[in-house]
Amino acid sequence: MLKTTALSALALSAAAAHAADIDFWYGNTGTGEAAIQAACAAFNEAQDDHRVTCIGQGGYETGMQKAIAAYRSGQHPALIQFFDAGTLDLMLSGAVMPVAEFAPDADWDGYITGARSYYETSQGALYSQPYNGSTLIFYGNRALLAKAGIEALPQSWEGVAEAARALKAAGVDCPFVTDGHPWRVLEQFAARHGLPVATRNNGYGGLDAEYVFNQGPVAQHLQNLADWRDDGLVKLDADTAAGNYATAFNTGECAMMEGSTGSYGAAHAALGDKVEIAMAPIYDGYARHNTLIGGASIWVMKGHSEADYDAARAFLDFLRQDEQQIEFTRATGYVPVTESALAALQASPEAASLEFATAGVGVDSLNQPGNPDSRGIRLGFYVQFRDIFMEETQKAFTGGQSMQAALDNAAACGNALLRRFEQTYQGVALP
Amino acid sequence: MIENTRSIDRAAGAVLIAGLAFVLAPLAIVVVTATQSYEDFLARNFSLVPGTHLIGNLREIWTRTDLPRQTLNSVIVAAIVATGRVGLALCTAYAVVFFTGRGRGLVYAAAVASIMLPLELMIITAYQVTANVALPVNAVANMGGWWAALTGGPLDLHWNLLDSYAGISLPLMAQGSATLILVQFFRTLPPQLARAAIIDGAGPLRFLRDILLPLSKGPLTALGIYMFIGAWVQYMWPLVAASSPARTMAVVGLARLQEDGERIPDFPLQMTGAILVTLPPLILIALFQRRIVRGLALSEK
Amino acid sequence: MKQAIFRSRLLPWALAAPQLIVLFLFFYLPILLAFFWAFHLEQPFGGGSQFVGLQNFRRVLGSAEFWSSAGATLLYMVLASGSSILAALILALAADRALKVSPVARNVFLWPKAVASASIGVVFVFILNPYLGILAPLNDLWPGIWNPRTNAVHTWIMLFAANVWSAIPFSFIILLAGLQAIPQELHKAGAMDGAGPWRRLRDIQLPLLTPQLFVVIVLEVADSLSGSFGLIDTMTQGGPGGATNLLVYKIYADGFKAYDLSGAATQTVILMALVACVTGLQYVFLERKVKYDR
């Protein structure tokens, strides 16, 4: 550790004038992609030493799949963006190096808690640089809520159910909508209630973790969602005319939804000031913990020259700057990820403007007190597990099996995945 | 006909008209929807009343999406694949049919066996091979460690074809149905042709150039058109082999026009895209229907 | 064997080499690699690969998800190729008669060949959209009567409809060519013997059409699988609840989205074996039939 640190510090001072071209692969499309390209252009504009070429891969998953193939044939980029769920897969891949060692001089402690804990090692050193951060918040449509005489967004699930009944009685066919994606109904739910998804603090304690979400309050919540759906209080993607929860909310079909901070831009464009946001609801009797960060972080891949890495460091430094983060937030609705950027934003005269509406609620939610189970998800083959979870619970929602059976199946399949992951990385220590 | 079959003819006619309706209705709906504007569509939902927004939709496709570029990619890739498949098959079929010697049956079998397993089944490993075509060279060099003994380190060559025209085209060419068709065709040719060539003192290459090629022009073109269309409609391979929007093919681009769900999808725009993506091969089919049919009917004999 | 006229040691190999190289690299090598990975546990980034014997097969064959996917694959192979061949056969029988619409029909029935399965998937998913599509009025009257997003039976119907649409041309051409090759004299003789049209269909046309039917069945079974990916990726993404998660789609998801290279390779090997068996058997059978007839 010390040696690497000394080496890279040396390299930093020695190669300052050396120009290098590096590639950065990212997965975002649409507004996210435009903002990333703008940041790249700004970086290349701001200095003459380095050049970064930012290449869109059309999605996080395809980006990763291409990075795997490229790494196996030695043609991978110096920097790659990857999404939250693949964190452990990358950490153990042997293809990346921890940013905290890569750029030891950066202020890694300045990251907000929720963003840090997700991407740090069990020992607390950041492995990748948090980039586009989002989190789960709660959305309401003021006009529809008013129909049922509801003035403030409910803060508890009990309140949500009650509001949904009132909305239904008032003729709103879709009171609450979700897509049932595990990011929303499982990970963020468990984190903010301080509950584990898996043992060993969701895998932070070791590769021998096992899924435990299929019992206790998490399972009860999913059962509630299924019951509420039967009562017509909750709708899923497929139950809505729009076919998608966010669209259904934006078109005014549904009155409430749980969604990413990143959905705010489109919701506001469609509904204007009818949109109201708050932290996601929790059940009565639970202390509120932090929600997890969603979105993606930037990883440094091994096998490049020191000159390349100087360029990579310079680019990472650039993206960390307060102004860059604020600009990115403005363009995308992602939240700032460092305390200083957040402070700078709040101090600026624009803080109250609409583009920054989610920053306050989102960062608030990320900065709630944490516990060992709300650090993040540190489980292998987690992307695959998400698909299994979706498939099994979908079957339960459409009546193919009971919710308990679905959760038990998902947990059993998930545990098989974890065991295989453990075997695949036999002898590799969890950082 | 043989007997008074008016009632049968009437039934057959009804069947054909029902079939025509089934085939044409989706296409008609595509065209009608493409003339509507997004706002029209939102206001009226599904409607068979044509609008006036076709030009607007086309302009949007042209300026705001990657489809024009991707359509160009499709033209290029399909042309490469069609020429490549026919060319490769021609050479192999010629070697298999017109030469004596051992191994011909094996070569033929190796080509024909590839018809059984479509590329879609082996997508994972085909992707890996395309990511590094030098893989087998490395494997042979490092087998038993002789390369390392000679040079001091294992051989590790890299040649990545992903995201290139070659990477999309070559795996689509690795299929032997054109070889099968041409071998069958060559075998139906009278043997006197080649014998006469020998008597005239013409070598095998001259025979190929001066006699066989002119003779096979019809089947070869039909085959080429058919292969062109076959490559154009590929979806899974271009989807994985070229991930950046500018390098993939039009069919993949069309499927990606579906937005990430922040609003109701712009179906009129999608249907306009569908027209653009479908029209080139559709025109080829409509124009060359007879030739293609003959080419295909050939394949089956 | 006919021809075999020129003598040359090198030339034929030089001629065949390009295709053999392409076939080796992009057909045989992927197969070999699939077998290799199926017996190894492969780290996605290539950090290490350990031989695990049959463990991958045990894992795959022991998972309920695999079996439901394999079942769906078989169901699809049988029903998708069956329905499209039946439709093409009926159309070919009709188009075989010299009617005014026949020439038009013979042209138009080829058009779907120009439409990628993914494109027609995009189109059908729009047309059959339960709330915005052509059946939306039905849903207004009787809510839930048509919802391919949640009702697996509806999803299958939608898939088969799109598959029939896109699979008509090939079978139609081959079957029509076969029908037209049946000599008129046989029809006449049959008619003189007092056989009605149905009888002649059963006793003359269908038996003489067996070679074409076999070609069509063999190729359609394999084709239905490769075409299924475009349909599923654009229409159902394997849903609802994994009901249409065919092996082709599952392998793609496991390998490309979940980096489970060994598991995906193992399923590839199993699927290839299945298809090779089915097709190989049919080929053997077919070869004999064709020779017998012509």
Which member of B5, B111, B186 has the closest CB to residue C23?
Answer: B111
Say if the Cβ atoms of B243 and A266 lie within 8 Å: no
- Residue C160, Cβ neighbours under 10 Å: how many? 18
What's the confidence (pLDDT) of residue C2? 63
* Domain residue extents for chain B: 65-300
Q: Are residues A152 and A279 in the same domain?
A: yes
Distance in Å, alpha carbon of C215 to nearest chain A alpha carbon: 37
Q: What is the pLDDT averaged over residues A149-171?
A: 95
Q: Are residues A169 and A284 in the same domain?
A: yes
Say if the Cβ atoms of A69 and B160 lie within 8 Å: yes
Q: Are residues A244 and A309 in the same domain?
A: no
Per-residue CA distances from A202 to A135, A187, A373, A391, A405 (Å)? 18, 10, 6, 21, 22
Residue of chain C whose alpha carbon sits nearest to that of A242? C131
- Residue A84 belongs to what domain range? 2-134+293-347
Query: Which residues of chain B have a CB within 8 Å of the CB of A246?
Result: 261-262
Which member of C63, C240, C256 has the closest CB to residue A61?
Answer: C256
Query: Which residues of chain A have a CB within 8 Å of the CB of C259?
Result: 64-65, 68, 89, 381, 383-384
What's the confidence (pLDDT) of residue C122? 92
What's the confidence (pLDDT) of residue B167? 94
B240 part of contact set with chain A, CB < 8 Å: yes
Domain count, chain A: 2
CATH topology for B65-300?
Answer: MetI-like fold (1.10.3720)
Percent of chain A with pLDDT over 70: 96
What's the confidence (pLDDT) of residue A68? 86
> Is the Cβ–Cβ distance between A80 and A299 less than 8 Å?
yes
**Regions of chain C with pLDDT less than 70:** 1-2, 47, 285-294
Distance in Å, alpha carbon of C256 to nearest chain A alpha carbon: 6
As a CATH number, domain C23-293 is: 1.10.3720.10
Q: What is the pLDDT averaged over residues A258-277?
A: 88
> Is the Cβ–Cβ distance between A160 and A221 less than 8 Å?
no
Per-residue CA distances from B258 to A32, A240, A252, A261 (Å)? 17, 17, 21, 22
- The answer, yes or no, to whether the previous bond of B204 is cis (omega within 30 of 0) is no
C151 part of contact set with chain A, CB < 8 Å: yes
What's the confidence (pLDDT) of residue A268? 85
Distance in Å, alpha carbon of C114 to nearest chain B alpha carbon: 5
What does the pLDDT look like over A275-313, one tens digit per residue? 999 999 999 999 999 999 998 999 999 999 999 999 999
Say if the Cβ atoms of C5 and B27 lie within 8 Å: no
**Which of C130, C105, C136 has the alpha carbon at shortest distance from B21?**
C105
Crossing angle (nearest 10°) for helices B123-131 and C261-293: 110
Q: How far apart are CA B95 and CA B83, in angstroms?
A: 18
**Buried residues in B277-292 as b, exposed as e (16+ CB within 10 A):** bbebbbebbeebbebb
C109 part of contact set with chain B, CB < 8 Å: yes
The tokens describing C88, both together, are 């093409």
Best-predicted range by mean pLDDT among A55-69, B182-196, C148-162? C148-162
Say if the Cβ atoms of B261 and A246 lie within 8 Å: yes
Lowest model confidence (mean pLDDT) among A15-24, B247-256, C82-91, C243-252: A15-24
Q: What is the pLDDT averaged over residues A326-337?
A: 88
Q: What is the pLDDT averaged over residues A22-41?
A: 90
Query: Which residues of chain B have a CB within 8 Å of the CB of A242?
Result: 261, 264
Confidence of residue B3 (pLDDT cuts 50, 70, 90): low
What's the confidence (pLDDT) of residue C226? 85
Distance in Å, alpha carbon of B138 to nearest chain A alpha carbon: 11
Distance in Å, alpha carbon of A393 to nearest chain B alpha carbon: 21
Confidence of residue A266 (pLDDT cuts 50, 70, 90): confident
What does the pLDDT look like over B131-181, one tens digit per residue? 889 888 888 888 878 888 888 888 888 888 888 999 999 999 999 989 988
Q: Are residues A305 and A279 in the same domain?
A: no
Q: What is the pLDDT averaged over residues A60-88?
A: 87
Q: Are residues A116 and A263 in the same domain?
A: no
Residue B6 has pLDDT above 60, yes or no: yes
Which member of B23, B95, B110 has the closest CB to residue C12?
Answer: B95
> Is the Cβ–Cβ distance between B58 and B39 less than 8 Å?
no
Query: Which residues of chain A have a CB within 8 Å of the CB of C64?
Result: 409
Which member of A30, A66, A270 has the closest CB to residue B260?
Answer: A30
Q: Which DSSP category does C27 fall into?
A: I
Distance in Å, alpha carbon of C56 to nearest chain B alpha carbon: 16
Crossing angle (nearest 10°) for helices C152-180 and C206-235: 140
Confidence of residue A124 (pLDDT cuts 50, 70, 90): confident
Q: What is the pLDDT averaged over residues B112-134?
A: 90
**Which of A287, A269, A280 has the alpha carbon at shortest distance from A362?**
A280
Interface test with B, best of A37, A55, A66 (most B CBs within 10 A): A66
Residue of chain A whose alpha carbon sits nearest to that of C143? A239
Confidence of residue B298 (pLDDT cuts 50, 70, 90): low
Whether A276 maps to a domain, the answer reads yes
Confidence of residue B243 (pLDDT cuts 50, 70, 90): confident
Distance in Å, alpha carbon of C33 to nearest chain B alpha carbon: 6
Q: How far apart are CA A131 and CA A110, in angstroms?
A: 13
* Helix (H), strand (E), coil (C) string for chain B: CCCCCHHHHHHHHHHHHHHHHHHHHHHHHHHHHHCCCHHHHHHHCCCCCCCCCHHHHHHHHHHHCCHHHHHHHHHHHHHHHHHHHHHHHHHHHHHHHHECCCCHHHHHHHHHHCCCCCHHHHHHHHHHHHHCCCHHHHHHHHHHHHHHHHHCCCCCCCCCCCCCHHHHHHHHHCCCHHHHHHHHHHHHCCCHHHHHHHHCCCCHHHHHHHHHHHHCHHHHHHHHHHHHHHHHCCCHHHHHHCCCCCCCCHHHHHHHCCCCCCCCCCHHHHHHHHHHHHHHHHHHHHHCHHHHHHHHHHHHC
**Which pairing describes strands A174-177 and A254-260: parallel, antiparallel, or unpaired?**
parallel
B100 part of contact set with chain C, CB < 8 Å: yes
Q: Are residues A308 and A401 in the same domain?
A: no
Say if the Cβ atoms of A247 and B244 lie within 8 Å: no
Q: What is the pLDDT averaged over residues A361-367?
A: 91
- Number of A to B CB contacts under 8 A, please give it: 62
Q: Are residues A387 and A239 in the same domain?
A: yes
> Is the Cβ–Cβ distance between A111 and A130 less than 8 Å?
yes
Confidence of residue B4 (pLDDT cuts 50, 70, 90): low
What does the pLDDT look like over C52-69, one tens digit per residue? 999 999 999 998 889 999
In this structure, what CATH number is given to the domain that contains residue A26? 3.40.190.10
Say if the Cβ atoms of C150 and A420 lie within 8 Å: no
Which member of B158, B243, B263 has the closest CB to residue A247?
Answer: B263
**Which of C282, C26, C5 has the alpha carbon at shortest distance from B104?**
C5
C82 part of contact set with chain A, CB < 8 Å: no
User: What sign has the CA pseudo-torsion C156, C162, C167, C169?
Assistant: positive
Best-predicted range by mean pLDDT among A219-223, A330-334, B58-62, C60-64? A219-223
**Which of C253, C264, C249, C274 has the alpha carbon at shortest distance from C33?**
C264
Say if the Cβ atoms of A69 and B127 lie within 8 Å: yes
The tokens describing B24, both together, are 């044409």
Distance in Å, alpha carbon of A67 to nearest chain B alpha carbon: 10
Note the ipTM here. Answer: 0.90
What's the confidence (pLDDT) of residue A3? 43
B160 part of contact set with chain A, CB < 8 Å: yes
Whether A45 maps to a domain, the answer reads yes
